[in-house]
Amino acid sequence: MKKVLFFLLFAACYFVTKGQQENSFTRSFIPSSQTYSTAVIASYVQANFSTDGNKLGAIYAWITSNIHYDKDSMYNINWGVDEHTKAASTLRRRKGVCENFATVFTDIVSRCGIPAFTITGYTNVSGNIKRSGHSWSAVQFNNEWLLCDPTWDAGAGNHANWFLISPSQFIETHMPFDPLWQLLPQPLSQKEFDKGNYLKKKDVPVWNIADSIDHFLQLDSLQQLEASARRMQQAGIDNDMVKYWRNYVNMKIAIVYGDQDMNLYNGAVADLNKATAVFNTFVQYRNNRFIPAKPDADLNNLLRPVNGLLADARKKIKHIGEIVENFQYDTKGLTERLDRLAAKTVAQQSFLQQYITSAVASRDKLFYK
């Protein structure tokens, strides 16, 4: 399965020419010293270009002129790394595949304060469905969402066929796995796209695009993955590419929940360790016959943190495996350790209450029973 996913996600993205209106912009010079991180590029663009249109054109022209298509290390660079690391690697190497082009473009645009998102899907070129994954970008410009494919314009210089294209045109060639990112009020089905029926008229909008995208972008990364997975499932899985991507998204969701389980387990262990430290400090103080002496009120509070820490640990354990079945963490063994410490604590609390309620003159004898 992993081999198939690799093939789907990072296979070569082919440059094609499509009969769309060509966009033109002036080639924008960005000094080489200002191009070694997306943050630095964004700062330069912000300082030297006044309008969003000029900023987008400068970023797009620089990427399509300076990043070169090369799949030599696409698995090593792209697999399992976050978006910022992926972008940094692309800028350092000045080459990559479609995912790298889109990631760098989206990252710089976002850093310039322009909403943007990297989209993954597949393509239909002159009726030929490309059985490989492809990535491109969506940007919000003049209060509408438009689409860009810097990979397909690589080397185009001042002229671009795939820059700020309307969703109704872009759907002729690009099908996102998540139907939301068609950016159409009534999205096409995969079957319609595969057959080239992108001009089919629809009457009732499925969603308000602006509101839907705004809501989606306000979600955290896990919520975005879950929302995408739901939409893909609801739209139907009509070909293997969508099936593989849906499985990949579900795998990423499982990894996130697995990380959450790890944090819960480690947190429960930390609570147990703290409780054990409090307990051991009390036992050591008892073995020293409560010397130096403390007021009874202070003695009565010495073991109190233990029960709270044990309760916190049990709450964490309860949530482990709620979403993804737990095969990794020994919650039974950890619960048994909590139970043993709880029983020991009860015994010490019993002794402490006996000590506090005894006459002061007879307390010392309790240590020798």
Cβ–Cβ under 8 Å, residues 285 and 277? no
169 and 306 co-located in one domain: no
234 and 270 co-located in one domain: no
The answer to whether residue 189 is domain-embedded is yes
- Strands 68-69, 95-96: pairing kind: parallel
- Cα 196 from Cα 125, distance rounded (Å): 10
The per-residue pLDDT for range 78-115, each reduced to its tens digit, is 445 567 777 878 888 888 899 999 999 999 999 999 99
What is the value of pTM for the model shown? 0.72
- Cα 359 from Cα 353, distance rounded (Å): 12
Question: Looking at this protein, which amino acid is placed at residue 88?
Answer: A
261 and 191 co-located in one domain: no
229 and 280 co-located in one domain: no
220 and 289 co-located in one domain: no
- Cα 66 from Cα 49, distance rounded (Å): 19
- The pLDDT-based confidence of 166 (bands split at 50, 70, 90) is very high
* Omega before 176 within 30 of 0, i.e. cis: no
The answer to whether residue 362 is domain-embedded is yes
57 and 192 co-located in one domain: yes
12 and 123 co-located in one domain: yes
The per-residue pLDDT for range 6-29, each reduced to its tens digit, is 333 333 333 333 334 445 555 567
Range of the domain at 316: 257-368
- The pLDDT-based confidence of 150 (bands split at 50, 70, 90) is very high
DSSP output for 304-328: HHHHHHHHHHHHHHHHTTSSS---S
23 and 131 co-located in one domain: yes
91 and 139 co-located in one domain: yes
- Cα 125 from Cα 152, distance rounded (Å): 12
The per-residue pLDDT for range 33-80, each reduced to its tens digit, is 888 899 999 999 999 999 999 999 999 999 999 898 887 655 444 445
94 and 141 co-located in one domain: yes
The total of structural domains in the chain comes to 2
280 and 206 co-located in one domain: no
The answer to whether residue 247 is domain-embedded is no
The conformation of residue 290, written as its DSSP 8-state character, comes to T
The answer to whether residue 244 is domain-embedded is no
Domain-ending residue, one of 176, 211, 238 = 238
The answer to whether residue 27 is domain-embedded is yes
The per-residue pLDDT for range 250-285, each reduced to its tens digit, is 888 888 888 899 999 999 999 999 999 999 999 999
207 and 273 co-located in one domain: no
The per-residue pLDDT for range 333-361, each reduced to its tens digit, is 999 999 999 999 999 999 999 999 999 98
The answer to whether residue 289 is domain-embedded is yes
The answer to whether residue 136 is domain-embedded is yes
